[in-house]
Structure 1
Amino acid sequence: MSYATQSQTNITAGLQYQGLLEVVLFSTLTTLPCCVFLFINIIMLFTLRSKLVFCETSRYILLFNLLFADTMQMAVSQLLYLLAACRITLTYPLCGVLAMLADLTTAISPLTLVVMSLERYVAVCYPLRHTTIITMRNTAVAIIAVWAFSSLNILTRVILLLDFPFEDLESLQMTHFCAKVNILLGQMSGLYDKGYTYFLFVSASVVVISTYVGVMIAARSASTDKASAQKARKTLLLHLVQLGLSLSSTIYNPIIIALSRNVTRIIFVRIQNVFYVCIFISPRCLSSLIYGIRDQTIRPVLISRLCCRLKLSVVPA
């Protein structure tokens, strides 16, 4: 039995130490904020499809793609959490589909942030060519490339799973709860997962940091619009923060595995719940809050829609 499997055994056993009241309490404390954030994200997605300016502007189209991926990631993560909290085990194929879907959306977020950073870089450093470079067609091509690259990663993982001797298993029913670490069957799958994660976020970080430095240099030029450069610099800085938060979700499993060795099981489960909310749930709503509050075009429409929904929710039937 591998180290990861032993650690996951400890995790599953730790869940058995939770009483029913504690399971309900933690499930409620994670589900409520998740539902609130999902509500905000969905309203934001509808907002970005409510006006022609949002549908024909590249940065809003890219923002829609980012929010869509974050919303899917949040929904799938919460589903997997509730399955684990309720001690429901799945079959390997079903767990694989859910885990691969979560992995797909996890990769889309940093790649979309890279494209959004490049768009801001072109807007500041090449303002006269911005409309010819950042077209609707090129934006669509960039989004397709992001999804294709992420899908290729999923296809590679599936191919690596084909080498695992499933016929040696007594049953396809999992003995542990569904999590990505539990379907990394075989050494090659684990090595590929680490290599892909490192490559993705190192490359994304280099691009975002490079665009940030490029905008800072351009801001010192006399021919550059100072206000536009300053706004773009702040936006790129936010992209870098978002990228760091996305990276935090990839180090969740190593942290959890390390904790499972050094703390008691019941304390481990409680820490795991806190980490889940802070690392998985909270960062998924930041894009809506950041762009919904900062953007002068989105803000009035978003506030109007949120207030309308809240008023409707309190009006008695």
Structure 2
Amino acid sequence: MTYANQSLTNVSSVQQFQGLLERALFCTLITVPCCVFLFINGTMLFTLRSKPVFRETSRYILLYNLLFADTAQLILSQLLYILAFCRMKLTYPVCGVLTMIADLTNEVSPLTLVLMSLERYVAVCYPLRHATIITIRNTGVAIIVVWVFSSLNVLTRVLLLLDFPFEDLESLQMKDFCSDIAMFLGPMSNHYDKAYTCFLFVSAGAAITSSYIGVIVAARSASTDKASARKARNTLLLHLVQLGLSLSSTVYNPILIALSKTVTRLVFVRVQNVFYVCIFIFPRCLSSLIYGIRDQTIRPVLVYHLCCRLKLSVISAKAEVSL
């Protein structure tokens, strides 16, 4: 039995004991809010491309990249959840592609938060050089570096998977539902995932914390704009909270594996659904809600687009009823 199957034996048996009605209830309660948040994220992405001020400001370009990665991660996570709800078991290659893309977008988010924090640090500590350091070109290069670095990590995971003797399997059809744990086909994959996650968490946390301390020190300087420094400090603190929420998904699998050995099967699947909402859905929707409400430049444009889309939805619904 493979490492993945050993980890997910209890998870698979849980699904067999959950009734159809309860599964449908959980799926509805999770899918409906997810669709609402996807609608808000999509509107936010459209908003950030609707005006030149958003397309030509580094801060908003970085925010767009963060929202794009979070939205893609939310879509893939929900797709995997629905496949598990329908009890559809994929082949290893198909599951590998889906989980690798999900890992890619999941790792882009914390690295983008680091870039956003460094941008705020430069804006406060080096205001006269901000326009020459944080240019559109440099921002684009930084975003490309983030995606390339994340892609290299995914490539490393693929190379680790190639060491697994797939020819010894009776079939490429998976015996468990598609997930990150199911693709840990050997101890090396699990050890590498833990090491990389630890490195990412420590590095990103140190970068954002250092930027926060630098802004606090700069705020005490007489030459620094106090209001701007205070706003940047609050933004960096927000980035630190977002980083913690973004990387909270790293403890999802270990907690589930530990719970599967201690609680009953029905309790386990209910806790799993709650964790999915709190760890995967909520953090991916936080950016749109925070920046859409907090940023005075984005807020009126976002509200305008949301209201127009809602009005169009109501009009379309009335038209369908009349027909």
Q: TM-score, normalised by structure 1?
A: 0.99
Contact 1:111/1:146 (<8 A) preserved: yes
Q: Measure, in 2, the Cα distance between the counterparts of 1:4 and 1:182.
A: 5
Q: Which amino acid aligns with 1:287?
A: S
Q: Deviations over 1:110-149 (max 9, x none)?
A: 0000000000000000000000000011000000000000
Superposed, 1:104-143 pairs within 5 Å as 104-143=104-143
> How many residue pairs were aligned?
317
Structure 1 CA distance for aligned equivalents of residues 124 and 246 of structure 2 = 26
The aligned amino acid for 2:246 is S
1:18-50 C-alpha deviation (Å, 9 max, x unpaired)? 111011101101100100000000000000000
User: 1:9: Cα distance to partner?
Assistant: 1.4
Change (3 A) 1:4 1:184: closer
Match of 1:78 in 2: 78
2:48 is matched with 48
Following superposition, the deviation at residue 7 of structure 1 comes to: 3.4
2:260 counterpart residue number: 260
Q: Which amino acid aligns with 2:44?
A: M
Q: Distance in 2 between matches of 1:38 and 1:136?
A: 27
Q: Which amino acid aligns with 2:10?
A: N
Runs of 4+ in 1 over 4 A off after TM superposition: none
* Sequence identity percentage: 75
Tell me if structure 2 keeps the 8 A contact 1:91–1:172.
Answer: yes
Tell me the equivalent position of 1:62. Answer: 62
* 1:12–1:84 CA distance, 2 compared to 1 (3 A): same
8 Å Cα contact 2:2-2:185 kept in structure 1? no
Contact 2:4–2:183 (Cα < 8 Å) also in 1: no
Q: Distance in 2 between matches of 1:39 and 1:55?
A: 21
Question: How is 1:129-208 mapped onto 2 (pairs within 5 angstroms)?
Answer: 129-208=129-208
- Please state if 1:304 is matched with 2:304: yes
Q: Which runs of 5+ in 1 are unaligned?
A: none
Q: Does 1:278 align with 2:274?
A: no
Q: TM-score, normalised by structure 2?
A: 0.97
3-state secondary structure, aligned to 1:172: coil
Q: Tell me, which stretches of 5 or more residues in structure 2 are unaligned? A: none
Q: Aligned AA for 1:95?
A: C
- Is the Cα contact below 8 Å between 2:3 and 2:185 reproduced in 1? no
Cα distance, 1:313 vs structure 2: 1.3
Alpha-carbon distance in structure 1 between the residues aligned to 2:284 and 2:162: 32
| Paired residues of 2:112 and 2:143 also in contact (CA < 8 A) | yes
Whether the aligned pair in 2 keeps the contact of 1:7 and 1:260 (CA below 8 Å) is no
* Correspondence 1:287 to 2:284: no
- The alignment partner of 2:214 has SS state of helix
What amino acid sits opposite 1:173 in the alignment? Q
